[in-house]
Amino acid sequence: MAALAFVELDEGKVKKSSLEAVSYAHAVAGDVTAIVFGKTDDMDEVGKAGASKVLSVTDDKLSAPNIMAYASAIAEAMNQEGSDLLVLAKSSLGDPVSARVSIKVDASLASNVTDLPDTSGGYSVKKSIYTGKAFANTNLEGDKKIIIIKKNAIAIKEDGGSPEVVDFAPATNDSDFTVKTTKVEKAEGDILLPEADLVVSGGRGLKGPENWGMIEELAKTLGAATGCSKPVSDMDWRPHHEHVGQTGIKVSPSLYIAIGISGAIQHLAGVNSSKYILVINKDPEAPFFKAADYGVVGDAFDVVPKLTEAIKKAQG
């Protein structure tokens, strides 16, 4: 089986979730070609993750994400490389692109996949459903398959070699460019929530926006993004783009630290893809503790400053 991995860039840097997709493809197929739209200095990172070859698309018309054009190019790459498996990370770009590719190449598709395929009796994948509350085993039929992996589904391989980088100029047609991106606005902040590997969030237990300094200091010490619960953003204590939850931003960091957040089901739906969850709350009956990997029962105003100082000391 030959696999193609779709690698996304963010301001010229390869996304961590895309490196996970490359490593997943390598674990499944061994023979992996990656396709990258745009220029990056991270090609060796793609190789270390498991790709032996990279198709580099540098056409200016494809420098900005274009769902229809990307789908056409990826379908062409699959046909050219003889790939019967496409692997990509779940994202706002990957989801619509993969759906269109599946039609173009007549492939079965599974999204939110959390584990490697089971081929003992067909081709079955385990996927997360109901915002992470349950799992479903799905059989993929047909010769070609598309797997969209959930973030943190697999560890990133780091012992691959330098890949062969090949210029790839896919055919373009005018119908793929009937919709154009005229402007892109990104949320402010040094580290953005959707891509953050560490997230520090605060809730109403902080009592007011004037106390957010300790959240920001902990986040800065860890190199983390900051988030908040819905009530906090509704009260304008924090900007709405920091709202984490079912109706806000869904995150999948390696570590999610929830401080003074009770753990309403709507909030849990936005964070249950986190690899580990640490809860700090003075209420031992807070629902969040049931979902936590680690919990600290204590007053945030005592615990958080001490935690920050301990981390600083450990960092030297």
Same domain, yes or no: 120 and 148: yes
Same domain, yes or no: 130 and 256: no
Q: Is 113 within the bounds of a domain?
A: yes
Round to whole Å and give the CA distance between 227 and 267: 11
Q: Tell me: the pLDDT tens digits for 115-160?
A: 999 999 899 999 988 877 789 999 999 999 999 999 888 999 999 9
Tell whether the model's pLDDT for residue 18 goes beyond 70: yes
Same domain, yes or no: 246 and 202: yes
- Output the six-digit token pair for 273: 């893809």
42-46 contact pairs (CB < 8 A, 24+): 42/12, 42/13, 42/14, 43/162, 43/163, 43/165, 44/162, 44/163, 45/14, 45/19, 46/7, 46/14, 46/19, 46/22, 46/163
Same domain, yes or no: 298 and 161: no
Domains: count for the chain: 2
Same domain, yes or no: 253 and 210: yes
Average pLDDT over the chain, rounded to an integer: 93
Q: Which pLDDT score, from 0 to 100, does residue 14 have?
A: 95
300-304 contact pairs (CB < 8 A, 24+): 300/202, 300/205, 300/206, 300/214, 300/259, 300/260, 301/211, 301/214, 304/214, 304/215, 304/218, 304/259, 304/280
Q: Which pLDDT score, from 0 to 100, does residue 138 have?
A: 96
Tell me the pLDDT band of 26, cut-offs 50, 70 and 90: very high
Give me the domain span that covers residue 236: 193-315
Q: Is 183 within the bounds of a domain?
A: no
Same domain, yes or no: 56 and 132: yes
Same domain, yes or no: 64 and 131: yes
Same domain, yes or no: 90 and 230: no
Tell me the pLDDT band of 193, cut-offs 50, 70 and 90: confident
Tell whether the model's pLDDT for residue 188 goes beyond 70: no
Give me the CATH number covering residue 280. Answer: 3.40.50.1220
**For residue 142, is it left (φ>0), alpha (ψ between -120 and 50) or beta?**
left
Same domain, yes or no: 70 and 217: no
Percent of the chain with pLDDT over 90: 81
Q: Is 92 within the bounds of a domain?
A: yes
Q: Is 187 within the bounds of a domain?
A: no
Same domain, yes or no: 153 and 224: no
Same domain, yes or no: 233 and 173: no
Binding positions: 204, 260-267, 281
Q: Among the three residues 177, 211, 238, which one is the final residue of a domain in this structure? A: 177
Binding positions for FAD: 204, 260-267, 281
Span 75-96, mean pLDDT?
96
Same domain, yes or no: 113 and 40: yes
Tell me the pLDDT band of 187, cut-offs 50, 70 and 90: low
